[in-house]
A and B are shown apart, each in its own frame.
Chain A
Amino acid sequence: MNLYKYASPANFYPLAGKIIPWFAIPAAVLFAVGLYVGFFVAPTDAQQGDVYRIMFIHVPAAWMGMFLYVLMAIYAGVGWAFNARLSSMMATSISVTGASFTFLSLITGAFWGKPTWGTWWVWDARMTSTLILLFLYVGFISLQASIDDPRRADRAGAVLALVGVINVPIIYYSVQWWNTLHQGATIRILNKPTIAPKMLAALLIMLAACWLYSVAVVLVRLRYIILEREQNAARFAEVIA
């Protein structure tokens, strides 16, 4: 099977249509299971009480915001370097979902911060760098929207995305590099997690749900971008109808 043929928007369009339900349906199921485990199974935290349950949406949203930015920068960079239209379209599609998750992480963080820290917002390193991430997403989306020629818009967006990727390790290590009000990482790849297994289960299920949801909505949006951008899109009209 020649996988390179799917680098063409015309060939990828029907494939994406077939893939979407395989991500959308499990995402909906996992959101339901994750919320059930998070609210009915996971115990109340000894220190924070029930307010810690915000973590089940806050942490996956924050992780997805960072992960999607790196992914967007990779796609934008590949699209720029190899003049690959589909790759640039993918970056455009990812940017909206990434911005949505970053905005959600900031909002849910504020809702968690008020009862635990006594304030909705502080200009500490983690929160400020996450706000910069949101500005980078908004900048990428605005820049692309402001340029009429899609190929020029892709190139300009790619430069911004690649320069901005430096902010992701800054967000991740901010709690180690600086003395922040935000707590340190509870889950690390190499170390044993420091939270109760039931809490961890809910967190990981919600993370999987957010990941599956992201794939589904990014692919749906990508199909619309393909339809809007491709000049010979008439041949797709029957497929979408």
Chain B
Amino acid sequence: MDWSQGGYGFYVWGAYLFALLAIGGEVLALTRRRKQILEQRKSAGEITKGRSNETTS
């Protein structure tokens, strides 16, 4: 494979770099969203636990 793409390397690799950013960015955003949800669930669980302790004491 000719890495310079016949002199069009900037355009070809530029286009694929944006593709990588779009796909990688979407996957990364989903991973961060998962983390956020897990943290929210965790804190919500702690609050519920705290409230149940309050009512029982």
Contact = CB atoms under 8 A, between A and B. Distances in A.
A220 B19 contact: no
B11 A51 contact: yes
A49 interface: yes
Contact of A224 (B11, B12, B37, B45): B37
A57 B26 contact: no
Interface residues of B, number: 25
B5 A100 contact: no
Interface stretch (A5-13, A66-74, A105-113, A196-204): A105-113
Contacts of B45: 237
Given A39-B1, A57-B19, A58-B15, A51 B33 contact: no
Interface in B2-49: 2, 5-8, 11-12, 14-16, 18-19, 22-23, 25-27, 30, 33-34, 37-38, 41, 45
B37 A108 contact: no
Nearest to A51: B8
Q: In which size bucket is the chain A interface? A: 20 to 34
Contacts of B1: 39-40
B30 A217 contact: yes
A104 B26 contact: no
B2 to A, nearest CB: 7
Nearest to B2: A50
Q: Which residue among A51, A220, A234 has the maximum number of chain B CB atoms within 10 Å of its CB? A: A51
A103 interface: yes
A43 B51 CA distance: 68
A174 interface: no
A213 B22 CA distance: 12
B6 A49 contact: yes
Nearest to B16: A57
A101 B25 CA distance: 12
Contacts of A44: 6
27 contacts: A39-B1, A44-B6, A50-B6, A51-B6, A51-B11, A51-B12, A54-B11, A54-B12, A54-B15, A57-B15, A61-B19, A100-B22, A107-B15, A107-B18, A111-B14, A111-B15, A114-B11, A115-B8, A115-B11, A213-B23, A217-B30, A224-B34, A228-B37, A234-B41, A237-B45, A240-B38, A240-B41
| The 5 nearest A-B residue pairs measured at CB | A51-B8, A111-B15, A50-B5, A50-B6, A108-B15
Interface of B: 1-2, 5-8, 11-12, 14-16, 18-19, 22-23, 25-27, 30, 33-34, 37-38, 41, 45
Given A115-B11, A220-B30, A224-B37, 10 more contacts: A40-B1, A49-B5, A50-B2, A50-B6, A51-B11, A54-B12, A107-B15, A111-B11, A234-B41, A240-B37
